[in-house]
A and B are shown apart, each in its own frame.
Chain A
Amino acid sequence: MVSLTIDDVKIEVPEGTTVLQAARMSGVEIPTLCDYPHLTPYGGCRLCVVEVEGARLLQPSCTLPVSKGMVVHTNTARVREARKFVLTLLFSERNHFCMYCQVSGGDCELQNAAYEQDMTHWPFQPNWDPYLVDASHQHLVLDHNRCILCRRCVRACGELVGNFTLGVKDRGPESIIIADLDVPWGESTCVSCGTCVQVCPTGAIIDRRSAYLGHEADVERTRSVCIGCSVGCGVELITRDNRLLRIDGDWDAPVNEGILCQIGRFLALDDERERIVTPLVRRNGTLKAATWEDALDYVAGRLKPLAGKKGDGIAALASTRLPVESLYLFKQLFADKLNSEMVTSIEEGVTTALSGKVAQELGRPFEGSLERLKSADCVVAIGVDLAENHQVAGFFVKRALPNGTKLVVIDPYDNQLHELAHYALQPQAGTDYELLLGLMSAIVKSGLSRDEPTNLSELAGYDPQVVSQVTGISADTIRAVARLIASSQRPVFVYGKGVTRASSPEVLSALIELARLVGALTPDQSAIIGTKGQANSLAAYMYGLDKPFEVDGHQAVYLALGDDEPSRRLIKRLKGAPFIAVQASYLSPATEMADVVLPVEMWAEQDGYYLNLAGKLQKAHRALVPPQEVRSNVGVLKALAARLGVELEADWRKSLKKRAPINPVVE
């Protein structure tokens, strides 16, 4: 601990703390601009200067580490003068005619800082030169006229997202933010995660969709969870007058710590499907608006005689985007009460069933938490493209690469991470198993294994030389990768559909064995992560909703689609079903085929729990009020059960943990 004095108050702070942090700890506010809590201090704007006794010049508090006995003054006349001077320079450097700027009036950190210093104008001539406005990006606009070159966006893009798209070219007054080799932003390597817009302090980076639709003071913020995929990133839903304006990353969410991907931040808002606002019943061949009474009676009437029938009864499918509560009621209603044998999810377990089988054989969970990925020094990604889906997990990997984290990608097919990988292994399709055993055999031979191999005799047949013949990967590469993995301190293994889609669990079992061999799977901690599929695919597995779907001879299909979009494959298979009831938010090819459509809430309108890919249970919150005739997914299932004379239990927690867990479930 280091003790120092800030504005006449003595405090003790840990070594390495900056003066700015120390001041905040003792309740002293120092204005800042280039500094941002989640980014490395940069010391560029000099707004945060303070007077340190004994130092000739004012010091930037955001980059200055505390030292013993330091005496700091944050609010002297000299400091206040300097702040005004810094702000004056910033205002006069480019165009800051605030009245035309979308953040003016409360949302601009530059303007706010000036008001805090009681500035109403600045004494210098402004720079009249017009700067470029880059409007080439799909979601964002970069107006260089408002840019103060704080480089928050540059740091966010590199440090948090690992994308390194943004930089600064030239120097002095000519300095300008650029993308890649100074190409239009929309044509750059930007992956549209939008982290930069969330950190920009001025109106320089603007989100097209929410621009001019409301200031911070006019909007409401609801903390929730993104249900774009199984990562389960924390979000803040920004709404005004029951309209969703924007989605921000939640800096306090432990899973993503503020960052989001394009799917979670932008695409979730770009829904152009037509909303269903009233129940629909097919009469004389066309869907007609109906009352809830009629619609529910109709469905119950058709389902009731089919209860208990196997093979020619009811087939029921639920979306893995539904909250846990709905999945539980769905499973009870159709599997336990109506005794149907074809009750599953629209993912049909393709991302979880195999892992479940392996967990059951092992008799314990074998996957670990996502946190491990953030501190890995070697990541082995197999059968998964983290730049395509589960992107935030991919950002954790990409941003760690400059710090020396090694990346091995094993995928016979195209994979966007191949080009970033230290080793991009493309084995012959179907030879992942041989490759993994080859790696193990090389590790054992090099004496680097940290655990006894259980399959020593089998490994003998998988000398890298032999494996190279089958996989097409050279023996030297296999040995080098083996050495790399085995000599890492914190290796993490990520697997995806390429592994779980297989008909047998041998590749996954081999991966688990490899992880164990290098010490990444101990009884109390695992560094294996399966990416799963949609937001609640793990919960669907836990409730047994994970078998392949067939209509076969079933006389009725109940599709609890929620706000999901049915795949073309599903639609094809639904053809010819004698009766189809769809519980959905939007019109789709599935509702077109339906005999009854029951309108339900979409994601932003519902409260409900989600179990992310690592077994973390998180609650999504309602931010919008649904249209009047639209009911909750839970409400519809309950009403249907009541009509069928069936009683459902509401406590979903207990049975969520019943099935052989793939991950320890954390609440």
Chain B
Amino acid sequence: MLSQADRRELDDILKKYPDKRSAVLSALYIAQREKNYLTDDDIRDVAQALDMTVTEVHAIVGFYTLLRKEPTGKYLIQVCTDLPCALRGADDFYRRLCRRQGLPPEGGTTEDGLFTVEEVVCVAACDKAPVAQINLEYHEHLTDEKIDAIIAELREKSTEGVTAG
């Protein structure tokens, strides 16, 4: 569901377009931002805000791989395992990561719902492999220790957030 703040932000964006539907990708980005995926309710909200039909919006979500419909962790860890990265050990790195997080080789979401690990094809940083993109940030030249430390840190940050909030 779009929050009040989201709606205000969307209203500002809408001012830039003569035709509301032109803002559909921005609107979906906003709707997905917080939880990393889109629910049917999000899609309905966006459709209503932009005078589009739900089926149309759903079709657009389906078209773009960056728009997700499956429940996803708060942090999306995408590891490139394409050839140049694999040559630098990224595929083994990825598989080990999955195992340590208790996930099957095709990746998935950790039990606490915080992390989703995913194998992707090219994030445009072959020379710095193994590379993981975590939400919008790149982490390069990774080792098992490095990624574990990053995950631990993020996990701590979120649990703090929960206790604090």
Contacts and interface: CB of A to CB of B under 8 A. Distances in A.
Interface centre among B55, B58, B61 (most CB of A within 10 A): B55
B56 interface: yes
A171 B63 contact: yes
Contacts of A220: none
A181 B58 contact: yes
Nearest to B59: A167
A469 to B, nearest CB: 32
Nearest to B64: A171
Contacts of B54: 180-181
Contact of A178 (B43, B44, B55, B63): B55
Contacts of A181: 40, 43-44, 54-55, 58
B18 to A, nearest CB: 13
A169 B43 contact: no
Interface in A376-405: 402
B53 A164 contact: yes
Contacts of A171: 62-63
B142 to A, nearest CB: 31
Given A181-B40, A181-B43, A164 B55 contact: yes
B56 A182 contact: no
A168 interface: yes
A170 interface: yes
B62 A179 contact: no
Interface string A155-185: 0001000001111111100000011111000
Contacts of A169: 58-59, 61-62
Contacts of A158: 53
A158 B59 CA distance: 14
Contacts of B43: 181
Nearest to A188: B55
Nearest to A165: B55
B76 to A, nearest CB: 20
B90 to A, nearest CB: 25
Contacts of A164: 53, 55-56
Given A181-B40, A181-B43, A170 B56 contact: no
Interface residues of B, number: 13
Interface string B49-83: 00101111011011100000000000000000000
A166 B54 CA distance: 10
Interface centre among A165, A167, A181 (most CB of B within 10 A): A181
A179 B54 CA distance: 10
B55 A179 contact: yes
B58 A167 contact: yes
B63 A182 contact: no
Nearest to A172: B63
A168 B53 contact: no
A182 B70 CA distance: 14
Nearest to A158: B53
A166 B56 CA distance: 9
A178 B58 contact: yes
Contacts of B58: 167, 169, 178, 180-182
Interface residues of A, number: 15
A168 B59 CA distance: 5
B49 to A, nearest CB: 16
A168 B56 CA distance: 8
Contacts of A182: 58
Contacts of B53: 158, 164, 167
A492 B104 CA distance: 62
A166 B59 CA distance: 10
Given A181-B40, A181-B43, A167 B63 contact: no
B55 A170 contact: no
Interface string B21-64: 00000000000000000001001100000010111101101110
Contacts of B61: 169
Contact of B63 (A170, A179, A402): A170
Contacts of B63: 170-171
Nearest to A176: B62
A515 B54 CA distance: 35
Interface string B92-124: 000000000000000000000000000000000
B160 to A, nearest CB: 36
Nearest to A183: B40
A169 B60 CA distance: 7
Interface centre among B40, B56, B58, B59 (most CB of A within 10 A): B59
A167 B40 contact: no
A33 to B, nearest CB: 21
Nearest to A164: B53
A182 B40 CA distance: 10
Contacts of A165: 55
B146 to A, nearest CB: 35
Interface string A175-201: 000111110000000000000000000
Interface in A580-611: none
A147 B44 CA distance: 27
A504 B84 CA distance: 83
A168 B58 CA distance: 8
Given A181-B40, A181-B43, A166 B62 contact: no
Contact of A166 (B40, B44, B51, B55): B55
B134 to A, nearest CB: 26
A402 B43 CA distance: 19
Contacts of B56: 164, 167
Contacts of B59: 167-169, 178
A180 B55 CA distance: 5
A402 B47 CA distance: 13
A529 B53 CA distance: 29
A127 B55 CA distance: 27
A168 B57 CA distance: 10
A341 B158 CA distance: 85
A166 B53 CA distance: 10
A605 B68 CA distance: 55
A169 B54 CA distance: 12
Contacts of A168: 59, 62
A621 to B, nearest CB: 38
Contacts of A167: 53, 55-56, 58-59
Nearest to B43: A181
Nearest to B61: A169
A334 to B, nearest CB: 52
A295 B3 CA distance: 74
B61 to A, nearest CB: 8
A169 B63 CA distance: 7
A182 B58 CA distance: 8
Nearest to A171: B63
A178 B56 CA distance: 10
A167 B61 CA distance: 12
20 contacts: A164-B55, A165-B55, A166-B55, A167-B53, A167-B55, A167-B58, A167-B59, A168-B62, A169-B59, A171-B62, A178-B55, A179-B55, A180-B54, A180-B58, A181-B43, A181-B54, A181-B55, A181-B58, A182-B58, A402-B51
Given A166-B55, A170-B62, A181-B44, 10 more contacts: A158-B53, A164-B53, A164-B56, A167-B53, A167-B55, A167-B56, A168-B62, A171-B62, A182-B58, A402-B51
Interface of A: 158, 164-171, 178-182, 402
A-B interface, 8 closest residue pairs, ranked by CB to CB distance from nearest: A167-B55, A169-B62, A164-B53, A170-B62, A167-B59, A171-B63, A181-B40, A181-B58
